Structure 1
Amino acid sequence: MTCERQRNTTKQETPPRRVAARLQTLASPHFRLLTHCVMATKFSLWFNICVWLAVSLCICFASSQRHRSVNGTSRIRRETCEDGAYDYEKRSCCKCPIGQQVTQHCTNQSDTKCEICESGTYNSVPNDLKTCQPCTSCAQANANLEVEEECTAGRDTKCRCKKDHFCTTESCTICHPCKKCGIGGVKEACTTNSDAVCNENGGAIAGIIILVLFIAGAIVGIIWITRSKQKKEDEKSKETLIHLLPDVDIDPHLPDIARELGWRDARNLALRTGINAATIDTYEMEYRNDAEERTLQLLLKWVEKEGKQASKKLIENLVDMKQKKKAEQIRDILLKRSSPSNNPASNC
């Protein structure tokens, strides 16, 4: 029995026991009792240390969650208010943020309760109000206002003047119509916060405008007179050319006339006198590589349409087309070919 006690004594003097004894000297009485109980077991040193650390952490956490007593009531320390505070029944309560209103003031157990402003109302600053402000209307009668920015829970409606209206104050309730300048013109345009400024020397500007209108009228009159004169000259030229031109058969002269006239003028002549574009395009496609031949064929078609008066109508249309020189050359061709010396019948 003595040997057994000696062996137990020898086991208790192992390094774990020495470590536990050192921990006992540092811990509270409760921890000493706990350590004594743990050492009475046969668990390893590491298990004993882990249990001791776990219990220490639990006690520290519990101590950090102790409540502070205020007026006999347990209450958690209040954090700093982000939007400021207000006093209510000897308590400091947090204000509601922008765009919200108070629904319940703070108590010893809870902070201020807030809710967002309803549609059509707003609060633009942190507040302790139980109501939100009504939004401003821009549709007031004869105010000449319109909405620039819609009302939100945190901002009132922003109004502005309608077009061609102004207001001289920062917060407008009524906008006034811009001044309309007369013939003198605008010196400074109307803006949202200032009226238009008109030129004082309106007479000089009016004189300039009248002068410009007079010059423009004179130019138009000169153009009209020139055209009228040219038209009279063209009529006189037509009469002169046709008067000297006897009734001749134009068919024998068409090759020379086609050579003198050219395809472009022949085309314009045909369109001017009622031959449709499809017919003209047919000749152009058929005689693509021979401009003189397609001109001749188009003239034959045109002579067939105009009949006996083709020679005189040809001269008249060329003068109207401002082709007086070609009209004279074609007249000379017709006169030359129709002279008695070139007429076989007269020789007989």
Structure 2
Amino acid sequence: MKEREQVALLIIETECKNDTEALITSSRRIISRREVNCKEDEYSSDNQCCKKCRSGFVKNVSCPTDVTKHCAPCQKGKEFMNHPNDLDKCLRCKLCDSNFGWEVVKNCTPEEDTQCDCAKNHFCNHTRCDACSPCTICGSGVIEKQCTRDSDTVCGMKDPATLWWIALVALVALVLLAIAGAIVWYKKKQKHLTINTGLPGNGVYKGEHENVPLIVEDVDLSSHIPGIVAEMTLTEVKKFVRHHHVSEPAIDQSIQDFPGDTSEQKIRLFRVWYQSHGMKGAYGTLIRSLRELKMCAVADKIEQKLKAAISSSQEGGQSYNPDSEQSKTCTQEGRNSYNESAELSKASTASLEETLHRVT
């Protein structure tokens, strides 16, 4: 009798346990269904549905419920967001760097990124294009296929005899042009400048300013940029470009484009300044600004490097004359760089005079 009662109790307990588990499972399914019941323009966050911001906007609260109040617009011309989102920061607009052959096809808007393409007389035939290359100029003068934005020029060939005569004429023209240029340059210097041959400091041109080394202020710095920034730290380059009002977004973009590569970051920052300033007066502005910022040693090193690089092509009457008060703030080492430049000018002038006497 006792055995039958025990069996009956066991059956009742088993049925109660099954009913309880079924009830718990059913409750979990109901809760789970409630958690994923968000609309297409919404997203789930902490068991509640939040509104997605539309293109051109990002959220300014953790869970937007009203897109007109809880979504902030991207900054025009600097930021964009091209899809509905639940982000709290806009994306930065892309820069079309002309130094890499790019030009702007369509400006950046809050809803769309900048569109770049190869500039005129440039092309890129790669699927992923990091830089556009200059179109080939046909030395023969025969073009079989014009350069396009995705293919280079295809050149043809002229008759060998014709090419020989063209080369000969071009060579004669270059020689005559070089002689004429040297004569004009020499006469101009004789007219406007007097060479001091009897005192210490011989070889320094004396004109409007005393003891000023001959330097072309409008020299093109494009090919010298890597050498210039090699003498500066990244902090010094940032300080220089900020001094000339380069925007913080442009500085940040240049740093982000080359993560971990300090050399490329410095080159890109300097190119941003040089592109906005232009070639005219850039050399003088560079040296003058470095002295104003108390980076005299850097200014002296860059000045010496540039003088050595362009000493063979110093032509024209413009001379760089740093402000006298700014020069006083620099070290004796900085002032000695001018004397070194004077010696270079003396040697260059003596060589030119000897060449001209031989020609005449």
Larger radius of gyration: 1
TM bucket by the smaller chain? 0.3 to 0.5
Per the normalisation by structure 2, the TM-score is 0.32
Structure with larger RCO (C-alpha < 8 A, sep 6+): 2
